Amino acid sequence: MGAFWGKLSENRCGVLPPKQEMNMKKLLIHGGLVVTGNHVAQYDIVVAGERIHSLGVAGEFSPDDFDETFDATRLVVMPGLVEPHVHFDAPFMGGTTDHDMLTGTKACAYGGITSVISFSNQPKGASLVQNVKDWDEKNRGRAYIDWSMHSLVYDASEQTLADIPELVKMGVPTYKCFTTYRHSERLLDDDSMLLVLRATADSGGMLMIHCEHDATCEYLTRKAITEGHTDWIYHARTRPARAEDIAIQRVVDLLKTVPAPVYIVHASTAGSVRIIANAQEEGLTVRAETCTHYLTLTEELLKGENGYLYICSPPLRTERDIEHLWNAARLGPIEVVSSDDAGLPGEMRKQLAQGRFDKVPSGMPGVEPRLTLLYSEGVKKNRVDFPKLVELTSANPARLFGLNHKGSLEPGSDADIVLFDPNVEWTMSASTLHMNTNFCPFEGKRVAGKVKTLLCRGEVVLRDFELAGSPSHGRRVFRKLER
């Protein structure tokens, strides 16, 4: 950390002198190493009310002029993280995910996240618009940080196609479909996909797509079960890398018929990033993310007795895939690293599985560890630098998902600010985290870095490593995509 600490940029952000009189609360964050844009330097940050007012060189402002000051000496100061992919309070395969909005946003706060977007969960055939209204009502006053939602698209019915432009108008311009899970009536076939792409292009939305080739996965699953292969590792063997690659290529081919903005969720293979990069070179609007667990864990974990705890879809991959994904995160086409937090209670998963890999509800918890893991495995190992980490976790998801005042420390942005202590070394486990689960996918891992203080719109949510905020503070964000 010492060598990095000394790399100070000569560039300065737009420095605006504080007004002589301001009726709102004024905060000063001073002495920290600030990550903003593509450079890192020691700036002081002035917060007025809910917004960032100005940035100045270290020592430019007097602490006596402020209502409260935060000494960020030897801390890294960065924009609050944006988490665009979680499943709070989600029913799946007979269970319900560990986190709801209340427990999930608490875990987010400890992970430096100030904005989270969860998937709403309407049953097939229900109104997407009504579901958004229901979620809005249900979660009001139950979030420590700001939040939004994505919808889920299971078909291309007249109601769904009519709901899509209404969603965009309601500030929910993103929604996800699946190329798998035919057995649970979630698969969107080619005919329907083209119709949804057309509605997306016309309305100014963005279609998020879970890409696995259903026929390949189902064929291999039936074959494995018939042959008596029920061990956890067969989840990975029946949902191979080629199934993901086939599905992504199919989406790319359909986009050549109906161009529309598309976001590939949880890319996990070396082949997937090559296909996405090629599509971008052809001028198609294809964005992509990967997830923390695909950058750090391998399918070898499925060979253990507790392998069912590591089942997610797509499955964990290989060391080779991990290295390709890190390269893609650093150089493109990966623009976002999310958590895809979707864990279910371990005992529930085991009971539902009945000893068979194909009956385990997919998903793992991970919303809190993301920043620490990306620092430990990324920055400290020279896979990415701090500006790239901020791009992947804050600036890019804010830009891509229409959180227009988030993801930046520029004056005028929401005062969503992380004070991160890179010097803390600790062992990650379920007991040292704050997620609503007794299972941590990264159990026993020695890591570095922890969020010390967190502000969301100028309000202290985390202070000196402890929760200090209120669930009445977070509010739903109206999102609008750039066209």
pLDDT at 93: 76
Tell me which residue of 116, 108, 141 sits closest to 462, measured CA to CA: 108
Q: What's the helix, strand, coil split of the chain in %, to 5? A: 35, 25, 40
Residue 187 and residue 215 in contact, taking contact as beta carbons nearer than 8 Å: no
Partners of 42 in the β-ladder: 33
Could you tell me if 25 and 70 lie in one domain? yes
Same domain flag for 353 and 365? yes
Shared-domain flag, residues 9 and 129: no
- Asked whether residue 411 is assigned to any structural domain, the reply reads no
Residues 284 and 356 in one domain: yes
Q: Is residue 431 part of a domain?
A: no
172 and 103 share one domain: yes
Domain assignment of residue 442, yes or no: no
pLDDT at 62: 93
**138 lies in some domain:** yes
Closest by Cα among 449, 446, 410, 453 to 429: 446
Q: What is the extent of the structural domain holding 299?
A: 81-400
State the amino acid at position 94 in one-letter form.
G
Is 31 domain-assigned?
yes
CATH code of the domain in which 41 resides: 2.30.40.10
Q: Give domain status of residue 45, yes or no.
A: yes
- SS3 state of residue 191: helix
Query: Is position 474 within any domain?
Result: no
The token pair at 344 is 């279910």
pLDDT of res. 15 = 34
In a domain, 477, yes or no: no
Considering the domain architecture, whether residues 53 and 95 belong to the same structural domain is answered as: no
DSSP alpha helices (H): ranges in 9-156? 101-110, 128-139
Tell me what pLDDT residue 197 has: 98
One domain, residues 204 and 75: no
| 3-class DSSP state of 174 | strand
- Residues 85, 75 within the same domain: no
Q: 144 with 111: CB under 8 angstroms?
A: no
User: In this structure, what CATH number is given to the domain that contains residue 310?
Assistant: 3.20.20.140
The per-residue pLDDT for 92 is 77
Domain shared by 56 and 177, yes or no: no
Same domain, 238 and 345: yes
How many folded domains does the chain comprise?
2
Q: Is the domain of 152 the same as that of 14?
A: no
pLDDT of residue 23: 73
The one-digit pLDDT tens for each residue of the chain (483 residues) are 433 333 333 333 333 344 444 479 999 999 999 998 888 999 999 999 999 999 999 899 999 999 999 999 999 999 999 999 999 999 877 778 999 999 999 999 999 999 999 998 888 889 999 999 999 999 999 999 999 999 999 999 999 999 999 999 999 999 999 999 998 889 999 999 999 999 999 999 999 999 999 999 999 999 999 999 999 999 999 999 999 999 999 999 999 999 999 999 999 999 999 999 999 999 999 999 999 999 999 999 999 999 999 999 999 999 999 999 999 999 999 999 999 999 999 999 999 999 999 999 999 999 999 999 999 999 999 999 999 999 999 999 999 999 999 999 999 999 999 999 999 999 999 999 999 999 999 999 999 999 999 999 999 999 999 999 999 999 999 999 987
CB 221 within 8 A of CB 295: no
Examine the domain organization and report whether 21 and 103 are in the same domain.
Answer: no
Mind listing the pLDDT tens digit for each residue in 407-434?
A: 999 999 999 999 999 999 999 999 999 9
The per-residue pLDDT for range 183-200, each reduced to its tens digit, is 888 999 999 999 999 999
pLDDT of residue 20: 41
